[in-house]
A and B are shown apart, each in its own frame.
Chain A
Amino acid sequence: MLDTFEILTTSGVVLWSRTYVPIGPNIINSLIRDVFIEERIQPQSEDTGQKPTYRKEGYTLKWTTAKDLGLIFVVALISAQAVYQSLVHLTWIDKLLDNVRALFTGLYGEQLKTERTSGVDCEKFGPYFDRQIQELEQASNGPTSGPANIKLTPPSSSGNDSADDGALKPPVSQKTQKSLYGPDTSADSTPVPTPDTSRPTTPAQSHLVTGKSRPGGKLSRRDRKKAAAVNSAPASSGDEATVRRKGKGSAKKNRVWGEFGAEEDDPSMVLDYSQTDIKDDASEAEALEEIKPETWGRKTGKGQFVLKDLDEEMDSIIAEQNAKKESFADSTGIVGSSLGAIGGLFRNVVGGKTLTKEDLAKPLKGMEDHLLKKNVAREAAVRLCESVERDLVGLKTGSFTTIESTIRASMEKALTKILTPTSSLDLLREIQTTNNASRPYVLSIVGVNGVGKSTNLSKIAFFLLQNHHRVLIAAADTFRSGAVEQLRVHVRNLKELSKREGGEVDIFEKGYGKDAANIAADAVAYAQKNNYNVVLIDTAGRRHNDQRLMSSLEKFAKLAKPDKILMVGEALVGSDSVAQARNFNASFGPGRGLDGFVISKCDTVGDMVGTLVSMVHATGIPVVFLGMGQHYADLRGLNVGSVCRLLMS
Chain B
Amino acid sequence: MTWYDKDSWLTQAFAPNLSTIAFTLVLVIVLPILLHQFVYKRQTPTTLPTFLLIGPSGAGKTTLLTLTERNTVAQTHTSTAPLTIQALLPEGFIPSSSHYRSPGDPAYERSRRFLLHDTPGHGKLRHFAASQLMKPTNVRGIIFVVDASSVAEEAGLNEAAEYLHDVLLALQKRYTGAKTSRGPKEIPVLIAANKLALFTALPPHLVKIALEKAISEVRKSKAKGLKDSGVGMRGDDDGLEEEREWLGEGGEGSFEFGQMEEVGTSVTVKGGNVLGGDGSDVKSWWEWVAEQL
Contact = CB atoms under 8 A, between A and B. Distances in A.
A417 B232 contact: no
A647 B22 CA distance: 62
B232 A12 contact: no
B123 interface: yes
B84 A115 contact: yes
Contact of A639 (B84, B126, B162, B230): B230
A609 B62 CA distance: 37
Interface stretch (A30-38, A240-248, A277-285, A370-378): A30-38
B229 A14 contact: no
B69 A636 contact: no
B77 A25 contact: yes
Contacts of A37: 78, 80, 122, 124-125
Interface stretch (A116-124, A268-276, A299-307, A336-344): A116-124
B226 interface: yes
B244 interface: no
Contact of A426 (B65, B78, B225): B225
B90 to A, nearest CB: 17
B181 interface: no
B74 interface: yes
A104 interface: no
B78 to A, nearest CB: 4
Interface in B72-118: 74-86, 115, 118
Contacts of A100: none
A11 B62 contact: yes
Interface stretch (B195-203, B216-224, B264-272): B216-224
Interface in A608-630: 609, 625-626, 628-629
A118 B86 CA distance: 9
A574 B193 CA distance: 48
A635 B226 contact: yes
A205 B224 CA distance: 88
Interface in A376-421: 413, 416-417, 420-421
Contacts of A637: 225-229
Contacts of B123: 420-424
Nearest to B226: A637
Residue among B70, B84, B127, B232 with the highest chain A CB neighbour number at 10 A: B232
Nearest to B75: A14
B154 interface: yes
A118 B65 CA distance: 8
Interface in A421-450: 421-424, 426, 428-429, 432-433
B66 interface: yes
A647 B217 CA distance: 34
Residue among B154, B233, B234 with the highest chain A CB neighbour number at 10 A: B233
A8 B79 CA distance: 10
Residue among B65, B77, B81, B83 with the highest chain A CB neighbour number at 10 A: B77
B292 interface: no
Interface string A25-60: 100110011001110000000000000000000000
A17 B78 contact: no
Given A628-B232, A642-B233, A428 B225 contact: yes
Given A423-B123, A429-B158, A12 B229 contact: no
B159 interface: yes
B164 to A, nearest CB: 12
Contacts of B81: 9-11, 70
Contacts of A227: none
Contact of A25 (B70, B75, B82): B75
Contacts, number: 149
Contacts of A428: 221, 224-225
Contact of A602 (B58, B233, B234): B233
B85 A38 contact: no
A10 B82 CA distance: 8
A116 B80 contact: no
A317 B229 CA distance: 54
Contacts of B234: 642, 645
B86 A116 contact: yes
B122 A33 contact: yes
Nearest to B79: A12
A642 B228 contact: yes
Contacts of B80: 10-12, 32, 36-37
A424 B225 contact: no
A13 interface: yes
Contacts of B58: 29
Contact of A33 (B78, B83, B118, B162): B78
B228 A639 contact: yes
Contacts of B115: 116
Interface string B157-168: 011001000000
A10 B118 CA distance: 12
Contact of B78 (A12, A467, A629, A645): A12
A29 B78 contact: yes
A9 B218 contact: no
Interface string A470-481: 000000000000
Nearest to A25: B77
B199 to A, nearest CB: 19
Contacts of B226: 463, 625, 635-637
A12 B62 contact: yes
B154 A433 contact: yes
A554 interface: no
Interface string B134-164: 0000000000000000000010001100100
A639 B159 CA distance: 19
A642 B229 contact: yes
Residue among A13, A29, A38, A467 with the highest chain B CB neighbour number at 10 A: A13
A421 B228 CA distance: 15
A643 interface: yes
A641 B85 contact: no
A28 B78 CA distance: 8
B162 to A, nearest CB: 5
A12 B159 CA distance: 21
Contacts of B229: 602, 626, 628, 636-639, 642-643
A464 to B, nearest CB: 10
A646 interface: yes
A481 to B, nearest CB: 32
Nearest to A418: B124
A461 to B, nearest CB: 13
Contacts of B82: 11
A14 B66 CA distance: 10
B49 to A, nearest CB: 14
B78 A32 contact: yes
A636 B226 CA distance: 6
B36 to A, nearest CB: 23
B160 to A, nearest CB: 11
A13 B66 contact: yes
Contact of B124 (A420, A429, A628, A646): A420
A429 B75 contact: no
B118 A11 contact: yes
Contact of B69 (A118, A424, A426): A118
Nearest to A33: B78
Contacts of B85: 116-118
Given A115-B84, A426-B222, A603-B232, 16 more contacts: A10-B80, A11-B118, A12-B76, A29-B77, A37-B78, A116-B86, A117-B69, A118-B74, A424-B158, A424-B159, A426-B225, A602-B229, A634-B232, A639-B229, A641-B230, A646-B233
Interface of A: 8-14, 17, 25, 28-29, 32-33, 36-38, 70, 115-119, 413, 416-417, 420-424, 426, 428-429, 432-433, 463, 466-467, 602-603, 606, 609, 625-626, 628-629, 634-639, 641-643, 645-646
21 contacts: A11-B80, A11-B81, A11-B120, A12-B76, A13-B65, A13-B66, A13-B74, A25-B77, A32-B80, A119-B69, A421-B124, A424-B158, A429-B221, A432-B217, A463-B226, A602-B229, A636-B229, A636-B232, A637-B227, A637-B228, A642-B233
**10 closest Cβ contacts across the A-B interface?**
A12-B79, A642-B230, A11-B83, A639-B230, A10-B81, A636-B229, A14-B75, A116-B86, A428-B221, A639-B228
